[in-house]
């Protein structure tokens, strides 16, 4: 399995992938395909480029090259490294950008970019040029089979199945995060209602939940936050169970781990930073929380005017770096396990056509390795949730404790 294919299976997307036989596609015409897929088709991109040129030509835009040169240059640009499959508006955007400091952009490219953005896949579907060969339709049906596209809000435009063009796009990780939050809310509401009426947490589920809750309260919050730990217990519970839920979803086939996305882990780290600073501001005041970053030092005035500002800058940078590392380390641990597991499973694909003598022992090794790595990832999912909550408690204590 190629490295880019591995990354596509663990990165965020706008679809859920299941086995092809569970979600087959049997589109018969181009009109049946989703707009995001139509916009990726070379035939549509060529039609779009022609429409842009004809519109520019009819408006009498100065400096416009000949039609053959325009289309030829666009096709040549698409064959350059990193430009494969990009639509004409990306080409025009590059032409419209200044080539260098003080350089002139192409005025006609700016107009063409506006025109290209206004051309939709629906317009192409209703045109007489929208005809695909049966072989292309069959190939596209095979590629889309197994992909459950996530419905998007009106006004959202996807660039492809992994990137958005405009609007608010709902991704797979967003759906999983909301689902995890809903599960946590339902379980905790049920748990709180039981203990509110004096019932003991009896049963496997409630006893297991009580063990985690008690552990986070006593061994993470109260053991590491020296002042007002009770105020942060609910926050640490929420962080622990949310990170754990997102981690565990990465072990479910056809799902994914939101904590394998830098945007999710950094957002969690920023949330911890804001929680700590806001709590510190309540404790020491808006200015005092910043002054508290610098340890108290009995320095002569002459030295203090030089050393204290430097210490303040160093402490602020250190605080920001610590929280950035908090997000990056969670990301790295989750992604590393997925990449290794996919690489091991990729061995089976690599030898599937090599005959039974080679394929059979490799399959046994892959199966055993996948089971062991999955067990390791299960352990890591719990471990990283605990470590994240522990470090969050330490950082909150540093920002609410007088140095």
Tokens 């030089």 label which residue? Answer: 306
Prediction pTM value: 0.84
When pLDDT is cut at 50, 70 and 90, the band that residue 97 belongs to is confident
Range list of H helices, 134-232: 134-144, 172-196, 204-215, 222-224
Is the pLDDT at 101 greater than 50, yes or no?
Answer: no
pLDDT tens for each residue of 277-288: 999 888 888 888
Unique residue bearing structure tokens 């790295």 = 332
Buried b (16+ CB within 10 A) or exposed e, 263-283: ebbbebbebbbebbbebbbeb
Assess contact for 283 and 289: CB atoms under 8 A: yes
User: What pLDDT was estimated at residue 4?
Assistant: 47
Task: Give the mean model confidence (pLDDT) for residues 160-172.
Answer: 90
What is the C-alpha separation between 304 and 286, in angstroms, rounded?
22
Please list, in sequence order, all residues whose beta carbon lies within 8 angstroms of the beta carbon of residue 321, skipping any fewer than 6 positions away. Answer: none
Ranges of each domain in the chain: 27-131, 190-400
Beta pairing, strands 15-17 & 147-149 = antiparallel
Give the residue, 107 or 86, on which the prediction is more confident: 86
pLDDT of 144 over the 50 cut: yes
In tens, the pLDDT along 354-366 reads 666 666 777 777 7
Q: What is the pLDDT of residues 54-83, one digit of tens each?
A: 998 888 777 888 889 999 999 999 988 888
The C-alpha atoms of residue 82 and residue 85 are separated, in whole angstroms, by 9
Report the pLDDT value the prediction gives residue 102, as an integer from 0 to 100. 44
**Regarding predicted confidence, which is higher, 393 or 10?**
393
Q: Which two tokens stand for residue 224?
A: 């590491």
């Amino acid at each position: 399995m190629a490295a880019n294919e591995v990354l596509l299976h663990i990165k965020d997307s706008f679809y859920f992938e299941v086995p092809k036989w569970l979600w087959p596609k049997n589109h018969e015409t181009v009109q049946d395909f989703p707009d995001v897929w139509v916009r990726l088709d070379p035939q549509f991109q060529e039609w779009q480029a022609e429409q842009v040129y004809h519109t520019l030509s009819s408006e009498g835009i100065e400096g416009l090259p000949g039609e053959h040169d325009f289309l030829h240059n666009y096709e040549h640009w698409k064959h350059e490294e990193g430009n494969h499959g990009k639509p004409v508006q990306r080409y025009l955007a590059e032409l419209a950008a200044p080539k260098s400091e003080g350089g002139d952009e192409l005025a006609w490219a700016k107009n063409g970019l506006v025109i290209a953005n206004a051309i939709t896949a629906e317009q192409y579907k209703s045109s007489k040029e929208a005809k695909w060969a049966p072989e292309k339709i069959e190939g596209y049906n095979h590629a889309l089979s197994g992909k459950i596209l996530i419905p998007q809000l009106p006004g959202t435009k996807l660039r492809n199945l992994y990137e958005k063009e405009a609007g608010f796009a709902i991704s797979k990780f967003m759906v999983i995060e909301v689902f995890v939050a809903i599960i946590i809310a339902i379980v905790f509401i049920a748990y709180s209602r039981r203990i509110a009426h004096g019932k003991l947490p009896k049963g496997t589920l409630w006893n297991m939940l009580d063990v985690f809750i008690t552990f986070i309260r006593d061994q993470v919050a109260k053991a590491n936050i020296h002042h007002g730990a009770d105020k942060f217990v609910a926050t640490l519970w929420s962080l622990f169970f949310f990170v754990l839920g997102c981690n565990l979803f990465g072990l479910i086939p056809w799902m994914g781990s939101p904590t394998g996305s830098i945007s999710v882990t950094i957002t969690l780290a920023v949330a911890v930073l804001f929680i700590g600073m806001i709590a510190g501001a309540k404790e020491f005041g808006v200015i005092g929380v910043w002054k508290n970053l610098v340890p108290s030092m009995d320095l002569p005035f002459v030295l203090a005017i030089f050393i204290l500002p430097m210490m303040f800058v160093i402490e602020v940078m250190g605080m920001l770096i610590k929280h950035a590392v908090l997000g990056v380390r969670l990301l790295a641990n989750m992604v590393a396990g997925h990449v290794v597991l996919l690489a091991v499973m990729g061995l089976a694909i690599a030898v599937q056509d090599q005959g039974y003598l080679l394929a059979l022992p490799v399959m046994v090794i892959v199966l055993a390795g996948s089971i062991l790595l999955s067990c390791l990832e299960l352990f890591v999912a719990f471990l990283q949730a605990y470590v994240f909550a522990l470090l969050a408690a330490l950082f909150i204590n540093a920002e609410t404790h007088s140095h």
